[in-house]
Structure 1
């Protein structure tokens, strides 16, 4: 289940995101869609990077055993509205498709994947999910450029 806090005017197909979330976990996930200023502040505070970014993920700090026992959420995903709109326009697909792509990226981080330190496992899983949900391949292209 997704607990959505949409702080913007961005239209969200919550049902589409719920399908993605349910394919990865049965835990609740908080999804916040926000503005550049807020995501920049969070990025600076939590990652030491004083710039805007497309998506941030904050896994729940409790051990997975406690999450199982107490039904705690998996964590929070924060997505910047401007990145959703801009990347959708650049890559020529819908805003919802871009939101879904960023949500997949955030969910995988919540589940412990880390593209900065793994040997391509996160990118491989992203590719599988993109194909499973018939989404545009732009995230694959973008991540392979890093």
Structure 2
């Protein structure tokens, strides 16, 4: 399976993992010419992700996702994508979205970063959001 999903002491309540993995495989192949894809999503708590943020990025802030590209060649895409389930749930409430929609938005966000999409500048954020919306529409219908 191109994408694997792990839970670090917290439940993500993610359904239909095979379908999602296949969708992510298609999404990556639409944007990158790679032969092998290994996306590892690790669902965790705010506290767990905060420690990763401090240790690897020197940021002392809560975040919903951190994506690490661990690829060793241009022919493969290997990554670890950490998702705070608590942040996703809080953001879903804050933005008046369902938990399921927000969880998928964050999952697609991580994959889109790996495909080269950025979100530091306003125009990049707008394009990232557009791409996330396209993914949600295609996947969740």
Q: TM-score, normalising length from structure 2?
A: 0.77
What is the correspondence of 1:1-146 to structure 2 with a 5 Å cutoff? Answer: 1-7=2-8, 8-13=10-15, 14-25=17-28, 27-65=37-75, 67=76, 73-116=77-120, 119-120=123-124, 121-134=127-140
Q: Give distance in 2, aligned partners of 1:127 and 1:45.
A: 31
Q: Give distance in 1, aligned partners of 2:18 and 2:57.
A: 31
* CA spacing shift, 1:128–1:54, aligned 2, 3 Å: same
* CA spacing shift, 1:62–1:34, aligned 2, 3 Å: same
Structure 1 gap ranges (5+)? 68-72, 136-146
* CA spacing shift, 1:16–1:53, aligned 2, 3 Å: farther
Judging by fraction of residues, say which structure has more strand.
2
Q: Give distance in 2, aligned partners of 1:124 and 1:88.
A: 18
The count of corresponding residues between Structure 1 and Structure 2 is 129
Deviations 1:18-77 (A, max 9, x none): 243123126121000001111011111222211210001001241213x2xxxxx43111
Q: Give distance in 2, aligned partners of 1:63 and 1:118.
A: 31
Structure 2 gap ranges (5+)? 30-36
Q: TM-score, normalising length from structure 1?
A: 0.75
| Displacement of 1:102 | 0.2
